[in-house]
Structure 1
């Protein structure tokens, strides 16, 4: 696709039936957005500003707009200095190709001699599962990936050893060919050389001219302490080899942490729920929780603790990824009501109930008081 196919209406963001006022308003908005004074040193913004100005120069003039609506950019190619249909006056559009090339890349440029650069190889993704313990300590892992790698016999060139490349006869080494379609001249990459301007004298018999073959590659991966779900590790240059000797892409390792039977993770914090008997909750106690670090962490349960209360142990959670320190260990207490009592235990509980005054459980007492107040005793 060439620069002549870029639509002026799309550039300003207006419909083809927009009136002059709408076009002027749209241009002012775009000009304010991309004006060089507002984007100092931004070459792309400056080019966009020039392109919008060129589009407005055409669409604001009824004669020029009519010619553009009828002939498109071909009107300017055939007489930009005033000889074209509708009379273009003194408007100069000779630099439109450069403007569009700056904004949209060389594929939209107006020049016919630029070869396409070999594209780098594709990036690859590898999903790795680790345990929470491995995420805590980190690990050195070894992975095997089937990847398009550089062909050894031809060194990635795609040419049979002892042979080379020659200029493409179809495009004359330019990498592009042109075809007339009505009023438009369409420029496309050369179908013979795929835009490279060169063809192989004899394709490599091992890779059939691709310069790469599928191989199993083994890579060492350093999993740092503190990784979490979605952590991405980049192995530069370990993706697919580029065609015809082009640079390789990258390999991205996406880490997935398996669920743990005891701990749940939120950032650098570790959560766990600990059931305690109602006597422990009433009298208080110290419990011990084994941590992922191999240490045993003492958690003091205060007397009278309620179910759902969270206790925090500073610095006993997950390591900070690529940083210092650790998060916290958070213990949520769940008071468990006994379901299997001996006759003696039931007897003791009945004796205890007979001694209750209501002050032992202030929340229950308060709720009863609210009921009395709401329903008149």
Structure 2
């Protein structure tokens, strides 16, 4: 059954008078006698009646509200887990970019020192002196100063590059959703810094190679091009062939290999930027997996919710549902609650080591779409302790 509040167009805190008035107005509008040319009028009228039957009875309304809150809590839990996973992955990428930045800056410093030492020695021989500022400009040139200046303008200082962690919360009792939001924001900031710093650092690397004389046998390599590709869960499961627009009319395709998950990077050799006098750089594609109604992703594991009626949860049954690779039948043990999970090994995403993650089936107890008087009486007897 759909949400009765949405069917009647009322808020969740609506009173009985408001619910009754909404039902009457809608029932009159969609009554089959007034809509004889509409084949869906009878179904709509019946749906409005079921919604009113649910909301006018306080007990049925409480049952529905509790089930809705459980579903919303589970959805929020999945969102928080995805945000935390994305935050961890972004922090790892930021840390790698920071290490690369430090390495390049060390190379640049060594190259500058060697060049400066050679120039000073030459000046001592010739008896000339050059101001340090002019020497630095002559050694690095305007291109290096522009790249370094661009980095400084965007806040790439030693302190800023080392902040992939979220800022401490002002309260120890901050909700999980707030913490996840803070972690996600901090990770996005760190990832943005890492992505933006790669272009000027690529230019600095080329300059270091030029000063040290390395790479003389072949043209220097242009900076890498960083792009993001959004794919579906089905494409990842099947290892599909996907394509991405790299600009300049270039549409490059590649296969989603084993080990692909959220934040995974694919390096396409020689498919990046093209600059005059330099080898074409690489294209680095970051994979983003779109939200799926059936599955949520945790590492290489897939999570899915399986609705179960009350009688099947109590007595146990076999349930069949659509898995990532086709229909799957699982055995639900007797007395299985909504906290019960069934783990199917090897039914998740493929990893780079040749194995696969698991499919985690989370049970959700659901009420019947149409109220049942016998079940209602049984629950009332159990509640009041009138056992026969």
TM over 0.5: no
Larger radius of gyration: 1
Larger RCO (CA within 8 A; separation ≥ 6): 1
Q: Which TM-score bucket, shorter chain as reference?
A: 0.3 to 0.5
Query: 1 or 2, which has the higher helix percentage?
Result: 2
